[in-house]
Amino acid sequence: MLNLLLPREVSNRYEGHKLALLAFIPLVGVTIARSLIHIFRADGGAQSIATIPLDSYTPAAAGAVITIFALWGLSQLLVGLLYLVVLLRYRALVPLMYLTMLIEYLGRIGIGLWKPLETLQTPPGARLNLVMVALATLMLTLSLRQSSPAPVEQDLN
């Protein structure tokens, strides 16, 4: 199992269950799209999506929150591009990417409990975090299981 999670040779040879590979495709797209929203939306999605009451903040405080959301978006973009590289070129690392995803979403939940944000209503991301923990756990498990003797190795081009 450790060899599937941390392969000695990194190739495009994916040995896990095909469903985990197929589920990874939309997760890559969502990760990249979400990052671009945080970077390019005027409020970074802080008020319009996460319902943080920016209009009750001073302009400087609101600007700081928006900047932090944009910086978070940059981090998400880098992770999303890494996921894309793995999907297109280094599929042997898909299980590791699911482990990374699981740790990220568990961390979001933990930090949210430790340092809660004041919002006007429950942001969609708060609910999504729970779904993503379950999904990442399931897909990590599937990606570590060999479903067929012939590994999936093909280009998406």
Q: What is the pLDDT of residue 79?
A: 98
User: Phi and psi for 8 in degrees, rounded to 5?
Assistant: -65, -35
Instruction: Tell me the C-alpha to C-alpha distance, in Å, between residue 43 and each of 54, 92, 110.
Output: 9, 38, 25
Q: Dihedral through CA 153, CA 147, CA 93, CA 144, nearest 10?
A: -170
pLDDT, residue 96, reads 97
- Residue 109 is predicted with a pLDDT of 94
Q: What pLDDT is recorded for position 153?
A: 58
- List the one residue out of 151, 156, 1 whose CA is nearest residue 87: 156
Q: Quickly list DSSP for 76-141.
A: HHHHHHHHHHHHHH-GGGHHHHHHHHHHHHHHHHHHHHHSPPP-SS--HHHHHHHHHHHHHHHHHH
pLDDT in tens, the chain (157 residues): 788 888 889 999 999 999 999 999 999 999 999 999 999 999 999 999 999 999 999 999 999 999 999 999 999 999 999 999 999 999 999 999 999 999 999 999 999 999 998 899 988 888 899 999 999 999 999 999 975 555 555 556 5
Nearest Cα residue to 143 out of 133, 135, 131, 155: 135
Residue boundaries of the structural domains of the chain: 17-143
Alpha carbons within 13 angstroms on the beta-carbon side of residue 71 total 6
Q: Are 77 and 39 in contact (CB under 8 A)?
A: yes
